[in-house]
Structure 1
């Protein structure tokens, strides 16, 4: 009987510990996302109209909100958070939950599992969340044709590069060479495209977005120095240059940023 009680106590204690860790990691994730949004907005800058004409909480009537999720209750006035009864909200919620859970697990591994090598991925956290927040804004603004494809391209390739770099950092066995080449290809492509669309007015933002790619390339160079056998031969280099060319062509012909036409304004 005592053994059963002791086992139950251990299970209960383990469950409490698991819930506490989950709660703390969720709080840390929310704090990092919140701080990141403020910092990234400070870097990018604010719209003058937003600065000079702030929302009036007393007179705001939320006319652009359909209020369906309020059920029988009226829409009321100013709300901290609201969303409309549309299919796009499902996509937005999926994006938020997916990236939020990734960040929570990332923090869990660093803080509780003490995998400090993953600190190299911190710049990737910024670039990933900057990209996904841009996608959320484009979907929220219904700006599907102008920049959504371009940002989706960068966000998807950034997520793939982050996953590959994570695998390389945590892999205990021999790292497959193709992972390193693929990571190098995406990182170089990001930097190349970033310089092609260089905005001198936002150098801080531009540097922050490619910092993860620079760190990846530095790590790859160190790996090549330590393991000369990993260096690609001419045939392998040609193959990955062809892959990079295909990715570049796909971006320019399918996903490139498109300015608004006068008819769209």
Structure 2
């Protein structure tokens, strides 16, 4: 009953967070459109409408600037371009979502570290959470680039990796402190340990299959050579596998009435074996960019 209530509360929290990001995105996007409509358009945008098929780096629609001129201080260079497209709405949503996630993680980490009772922190989970931040924001920046470039060949694959990475990070985030808000023991369940282990294995397997880590295994000059990026991406999954294994060994060696039974171990193994098989098939048929090239 307690586990069900915990899962329900987590689901409600995720729904509230997602809806808040959607509402904030709608408000910002609507404000941009309305303010531009009210202020009017610059004559250069009306006389020379943008041709997206032949647009180059020095070409932008400029509609979000309203009546203001394209050139300022003798140059047309801009730090960031806001074009009048639906892609910018999705980019705003990504910025808001991942920015708020980062803020929540930083606040939680600072509160945990500043606590006088440092034994309340699961330090290995803290390390894993910090390391996972890189993978999450590498994925977010890839999505932003794919949307900005209108290059959708790898976007399904990146969405799959980004969402599964968020699941792992969410478990780290929720279980960082040993005690919950009501001072009860904030235990890591057997299913959560299996989920971390399974997703991390799947990440590594898919990454090797898609040659994301290929530069470590072959001497082909055309293979991926961005080894620093690969190390940063894979180290989180390696730590996740280590954590999952240690947790399973802890459950297996645990004694007493609350220790998982052999039946529970077999049930969890079957459940997550089926889950990984479904996720793998889903990825290969719907998200694998190598099938489209």
- The aligned residue for residue 233 of structure 1 is 265
Q: Where does structure 1 lack aligned partners over 5 or more consecutive residues?
A: 1-60
SS in 1 for 2:226: helix
Q: 1:119 Cα deviation (Å)?
A: 3.5
1:62 and 1:78 in contact (8 A); partners too: no
- The aligned residue for residue 126 of structure 1 is 134
Q: 1:260 Cα deviation (Å)?
A: 6.5
Residues in 1 aligned to 2:162 and 2:251: alpha-carbon distance in whole angstroms: 31
2:156 and 2:287 in contact (8 A); partners too: yes
2:132 and 2:236 in contact (8 A); partners too: yes
Alignment pair present for 1:75 and 2:70: yes
2:163 aligned residue (156, 164, 167)? 156
User: TM-score, structure 1 length as denominator?
Assistant: 0.69
- The aligned residue for residue 95 of structure 2 is 96
Alignment pair present for 1:169 and 2:168: no
Residues in 1 aligned to 2:171 and 2:111: alpha-carbon distance in whole angstroms: 22
- The aligned residue for residue 223 of structure 1 is 247
Q: Identify the structure with bigger relative contact order (alpha carbons < 8 Å, sequence gap 6+).
A: 1
Alignment pair present for 1:110 and 2:109: yes
SS in 2 for 1:175: coil
Residues in 1 aligned to 2:107 and 2:127: alpha-carbon distance in whole angstroms: 12
1:205 aligned residue (209, 216, 229)? 229
Residues in 1 aligned to 2:168 and 2:200: alpha-carbon distance in whole angstroms: 7
2:156 and 2:289 in contact (8 A); partners too: yes
Q: Deviations over 1:73-100 (max 9, x none)?
A: 1111111122101111111011011101
SS in 2 for 1:150: helix
User: TM-score, structure 2 length as denominator?
Assistant: 0.63
Q: What is the Cα-based RMSD across aligned positions, in Å? A: 2.2
Alignment pair present for 1:137 and 2:145: yes
1:110 and 1:119 in contact (8 A); partners too: no
2:204 and 2:234 in contact (8 A); partners too: yes
Q: 1:238 Cα deviation (Å)?
A: 2.3
How many residue pairs get aligned? The number is: 200
1:153 and 1:255 in contact (8 A); partners too: yes
